[in-house]
Amino acid sequence: MTAFPTRERADACPGALQTHPAADGALARVRVPGGALTVDQLLVLSDAAQELGDGALELTSRGNVQLRGVRSGAEGELGDRLAAAGLLPSATHETARNVLASVLSGRAEGFVDVRPWVSAFDAAMCADPALAALPGRYLAAFDDGRGDVAGLGADVGLLAVDGSTVALLLAGADTGLRCGAADAVPLALAATGAFLAERAEQGGTAWRVAELADGPARIAAALGSAPGPLLSVPPPPAAGPAGVVRQDDGRTALVAVVPLGRVTVDQAGLLADTAATDLQLTPWRSIVVPDLPDASALDELSAAGLVLEPGSPWLRVTACAGRPGCAKSLADVRGDVVRAVATGSLPAEGVRQHWVGCERRCGRPSGDVVDVVATGSGYRIG
């Protein structure tokens, strides 16, 4: 049995109602399962950021949205706005609704369309009072077979092996358990419940499946099915898509990467005007605008500061909040990143890198990434 350290404090992951105090005001995190966002919801979020926060939206590595600088006393109004827009279906489950989904699932590539899985899983989770106890760090990932989100280390994952077979992943690794596409959501829910039960058995302090002693094996055994041969889970891509993607139906999707994940009011308005239907947020801090007749909006989106060039360094650079948003930061991390990209002076030969203002290394993405850590007298690599 592998031993893991016991968490000394409860998970305090911020939500839309359970905000986190920061140097620049309260931080609210809005869960967007599968990244699925309507145009109206994007505008509600943007208006809330402008009227209640610091004026911009932040995209997270889990395809969620943050509002920074939320003024004191505005939490209730924010919650009311989100609930009216369908962004807060459960006040008790809001911090646990972390679900990733393959980009453009059902529109381009993939064996199955996982969008129905996302909505069914989220509805069932919110309807189960027991699942309100999930830590805010809990993560589910539904991969349609292309392997874009399966390797991101989700606690519970579904990976389409073909059009009729789905593999259950735990802590990013295959369990050998299989089901049909119609049974995928019930299996993911059962695994989620088994995680909570095993977590309670081991003291109730773990935030993730990987923190439990023999967690994946114990959870899989609790599901009561005999595992089969294991498959190799695809590693996460170094960067997500960007630019023009041709959909299976002949229409066009534009994938716009948001530098440092910060969406301005003007950018949100332009994305809303451009969208033909809905949008999708991705774990690579980009926004997908699908179902367009062509790529004619590409230049206008680029001119607004969004990145649609697949070779851009912005696809390889992320950062924490830094100063002035975080009192623990030793540097204006984001300002320094912007200057490094503009001058072509990214360290470590420009490989995938995450800039942080202190040793906590907040916001670090999954996979191979070089840390660029502020020291107070410059940055240290690694």
Walk along the chain (382 residues) in steps of 10 and give the mean pLDDT of each run. 57 86 90 98 98 96 96 94 98 97 97 98 98 97 97 97 97 97 98 98 96 97 90 91 98 97 97 96 97 98 98 94 91 96 94 95 88 95 92
Residues 105 and 196 in one domain: yes
Cβ contact 222:197 at 8 Å: yes
The residues near 112 (Cβ < 8 Å, ≥ 6 apart) are 105, 144, 145, 160, 163, 166, 181
Residue 4 is predicted with a pLDDT of 54
Residues 103 and 212 in one domain: yes
* Strand 140-143 with 156-160, pairing: parallel
Helix (H, G, I), strand (E, B) or coil at 280: strand
Q: Is 6 contained in some domain?
A: no
Residues 126 and 152 in one domain: yes
Q: Is 218 contained in some domain?
A: yes
Sign of CA dihedral 16, 18, 20, 21: positive
As given in the structure block, the two tokens for residue 298 are 């590409």
How many structural domains compose the chain? Answer: 4
Burial of 104 (0-12, 13-18, 19+ CB in 10 A): buried
pTM of the model: 0.94
Residue 3 is predicted with a pLDDT of 47
Identify the CATH number of the domain in which residue 53 sits.
Answer: 3.30.70.3340
Residues 212 and 275 in one domain: no
Identify the CATH number of the domain in which residue 304 sits.
Answer: 3.90.480.10
Residues 164 and 276 in one domain: no
Nearest by Cα to 356 from 338, 334, 377, 340: 334
Residue 189 is predicted with a pLDDT of 98
Own/partner contacts of 309-312, CB < 8 Å, gap of 24 or more, are 309/242, 309/243, 310/241, 310/242, 310/243, 312/242, 312/257
Q: Is 233 contained in some domain?
A: no
Determine phi and psi for 281, rounding to 5 degrees: -90, 145
Residue 8 is predicted with a pLDDT of 63
* β-strand partners of 59: 65
The residues near 205 (Cβ < 8 Å, ≥ 6 apart) are 6, 7, 8, 10, 199
Residues 189 and 147 in one domain: yes
Which residue matches tokens 């381009």?
108
Domain stops at, among 278, 308, 338:
308
Residues 149 and 188 in one domain: yes
Residue 173 is predicted with a pLDDT of 97
**CB count in 10 Å sphere of residue 346:** 18
Helix (H, G, I), strand (E, B) or coil at 355: strand
* Alpha helices (H) in the chain, listed in sequence order: 39-52, 75-84, 115-127, 184-201, 215-222, 265-274, 298-303, 333-342
Residues 140 and 195 in one domain: yes
Residues 182 and 248 in one domain: no
Q: Domain limits at 360?
A: 317-381
Residues 165 and 146 in one domain: yes
| Cα distance between residue 140 and residue 121, in whole Å | 10
Q: Is 228 contained in some domain?
A: no
Q: Which residues of the chain form beta strands (DSSP E)?
A: 20-22, 25-30, 36-38, 57-59, 65-70, 99-101, 140-143, 156-160, 166-170, 173-179, 243-246, 252-257, 262-263, 278-281, 286-292, 317-319, 353-356, 370-374, 379-381
Q: Is 12 contained in some domain?
A: no
Cβ contact 233:151 at 8 Å: yes
Q: Is 4 contained in some domain?
A: no
Residues 159 and 47 in one domain: no
Residue 186 is predicted with a pLDDT of 98
Q: Is 234 contained in some domain?
A: no
Domain stops at, among 291, 308, 325:
308
Residues 277 and 374 in one domain: no
DSSP single-letter state for residue 3: -
Domain stops at, among 265, 280, 308:
308
- Cis before 324 (ω within 30): yes
Q: Is 165 contained in some domain?
A: yes
